[in-house]
Structure formats: structure tokens, C-alpha cells
Amino acid sequence: MELIYHGHSCVQIVTDGKSLVIDPFLRGNPIAVTKPEDVQTDYVLLTHAHTDHILDAAPIAKANDAPIVAVVELADFMSGKGLKTIGMNLGGTVDLGFAKAKMVQALHSSGITLEDGSTVYGGVPVGYIIQVEGLTILHAGDTSLFSDMKLIGDRHAIDIALIPIGDHYTMGPDDALQAAQWYGAKLVVPVHYNSFPPIRQDAEAFVARLEAQGQRGKLLAPGEKISVKAGEL
């Protein structure tokens, strides 16, 4: 399994010629190195409806004839744009063939900003637990700290956790350290930081603090990838 970090909260999971991408935000991200037209994928997964998570969902989905997986309200909105969608809800699991994606809680907000600047309801924010090649990968989504992260960690043997650390709009490093501990992930990859001034963080310091509490962390630059096999972590 190959995991590619495209910056902000956008990650891509590639396995055996198949791929899914989560929260594509490339055109509006000043530190992204990948263009939407460069992304080849079979599915687009969305955690919530904010622009910095869905901006490139429609063009990527359309170019690849790829269904968009999202909570039902956001899926309905994307369906109204003529896109293929798979609407689901918290607790549900969708079988993508090469992977399974379970929708779990995130504590945040979610609204779709329209062209006139108004906002409409985008459904609840979510995270995903991805099962692929014998690995369990958690994308926490945009979230603050909440105690049921421990329940998620207790019920799933998480190999890799993608956790926001940017503060201001999500958890900051202190809360993210607690979240990492509750999730119990073998490897933690920080996301949702340094894209904009309000979310600038010292990610290296965060990883050092992870290691001090007995967990392994890994920084990925936009465009960087890691390859992992089951049992390696």
C-alpha cells in the first residue's frame, strides 16, 4: 500500500492499480505540488463540506469517472452537479472492492459555500477508517478532541492515523497528542497545518512529543509518499 500526502488534509491511498483520494484541495493550497489533473483515482472521499476539503472533488471525480463518497447531504449536493455519488452516514461502511471505508465521528462544522457567498448545510463532519491490504488507516477529518476517540481506538487496531494539528479550525498539537494516544495508532501522520497563517505549526516538535509519549510519528511533505505492508509497523 502506498500513501501519498498532497498537503493540507488531502491524502491518496494506492494499492494494486487502484486508488482513493480523500479531501482533494490542490488549486487553493499554496504549498501543494500536485495539480487536480494529475490525480488518477477510482473514488473521492470527503470528510465534510468546507472549501479547503472539497474544492477539487468535482473536477477530479469528473475526469476519472469516480464516485464521490460522502455523508448523504454532501453526496446529494454533489449528485446535483451531475456527479456519481455514494451517500452514507456515521457508522456505515462502504465496500469499494479494493478497500473498505467506515464513516466515524468528527467534531467540527460543515457547510457548503455557494458562489454568492452564502452557506448551506453540508451534513455532519466525519472521519474514515480505511481497511486496505490488511492495514487499518484512520483519517480523522477536521476535528476537535472528543472522548470517543478512545472508543474508536479500542475497537480498531489502527496502523496509521492522519490527525489534524493546525489549531484555530481544528485541534492544536496538545489536543492532537491526546487524540493520538486515545487512537493508539502505530504511526501518526500530522495533517491540516501550515497551509495558511492561522494554522502554522512546528510539526517536527509535534513528532518529537509523540515519540516522548511512546508513539511513532512521520512528517510528509506535499507530494511525498510512504509504502507500508501489513505487519511492518
Q: pLDDT of 124-154, one tens digit each?
A: 999 999 999 999 999 999 999 999 999 999 9
Residue 232 lies in a domain: no
Gap between the Cα atoms of 207 and 195, Å rounded: 18
Average of pLDDT values for 55-72?
98
Any domain includes 197: yes
What region, left, alpha or beta, does residue 117 occupy, with left being phi > 0 and alpha being psi -120 to 50 degrees?
A: left
> Which residue, 19, 29, 95, is CA-closest to 64?
19
Q: What percent of the chain has pLDDT over 70?
A: 100
* pLDDT at residue 52, as a whole number: 98
Inside any domain, residue 35: yes
Containing domain of residue 167, as a range? Answer: 2-220
Residue 87 is predicted with a pLDDT of: 98
Residue 229 within a domain: no
Q: Count Cβ atoms below 10 Å from residue 125 Cβ, excluding itself.
A: 23
Is 225 part of any domain?
A: no
pLDDT tens for 13-52 read 999 999 999 999 999 999 999 999 999 999 999 999 999 9
pLDDT tens, residue by residue, 219-231:
999 999 999 999 9
CATH of the domain at 67: 3.60.15.10
Joined grid coordinates for residue 220: 510528509
pLDDT tens column, 94-131: 999 999 999 999 999 999 999 999 999 999 999 999 99
Query: How many folded domains does the chain comprise?
Result: 1
Among 38, 52, 112, 51, CA closest to 79: 112
Whether residue 122 is contained in a domain is answered as yes
Q: Is residue 38 part of a domain?
A: yes
Sign of the four-CA dihedral 173, 198, 224, 228 = positive
In a domain, 7, yes or no: yes
CA distance 96 to 74: 19
